[in-house]
Amino acid sequence: MKRKKVLLKEQLSEIIYNNDKIIISKQDNNWCFEIGREITMDIAEAVSILMRTSDVDDSLWEMSIDNIDIDSISPERSLFWLSGGYMEWRTLENYNKPWYDCYLDFQEEFGFIIINIIKRSKTLMDIKNNFNKYLNLPVLYEFALSKDLIR
């Protein structure tokens, strides 16, 4: 993992945000987010992780985004975090199946919503607000109930 992190830092030249736990780099249209121990180049996944992080200041959310490569977005990654992340999917406290058994159901239902949110968004705050509006936990739990994925 450390080699991958060093390689990513060498490839991406411009650091556009840096605090103790969050580093955001960009070169051309490629973004790299290091959030705690998580590293991703998927902006939807990054926002999903940031929404669960308490060390995020307002200036980060106001960051402008443009020319996002939609092909680099994997909706199942952000759905993993929006539906509970490691805490929920490792313990299975509320779900009755592991993530690998049900991520396709979530992706089929909500994948296009994530792509459309990214396409319409101008800032990270736009993504966050739309995730909160259209993909909040009650919406995801209601879906999981309908698919019999929750205890």
pLDDT of residue 129: 98
pLDDT of residue 2: 45
| Beta-bridge partners for 34 | 23, 39
Percent of the chain with pLDDT over 90: 75
> pTM value?
0.88
Is residue 67 helix, strand or coil?
A: coil
Q: Kindly list the distances between the CA atom of residue 17 and the CA atoms of 31, 35, 60, 67, 81, in Å, as whole numbers in the listed order.
A: 11, 11, 7, 18, 22
| Beta-bridge partners for 25 | 15, 32
Q: Residue range 10-28: average pLDDT?
A: 81
Edge-to-edge strand ranges of the sheet holding 38-40: 14-18, 22-27, 30-35, 38-40
pLDDT of residue 68: 85
| Chain centre to alpha carbon of residue 64 | 17
| CA-based end-to-end distance of the chain | 35
> In this structure, is the dihedral angle defined by the CA atoms of residues 48, 51, 56 and 62, taken in order, positive or negative?
positive
Q: How far apart are CA 129 and CA 140, in angstroms?
A: 16
Q: Which of 25-29, 30-34, 71-75, 131-135 has the least mean pLDDT?
A: 25-29
Looking at every residue in the chain, the average pLDDT score rounds to 90
Whose CA is closest to 40, among 92, 82, 1, 86? 1
- Kindly tell me if the per-residue pLDDT of 83 is higher than 60: yes
Residue bearing tokens 């539906």: 83
- One-letter identity of residue 30: N
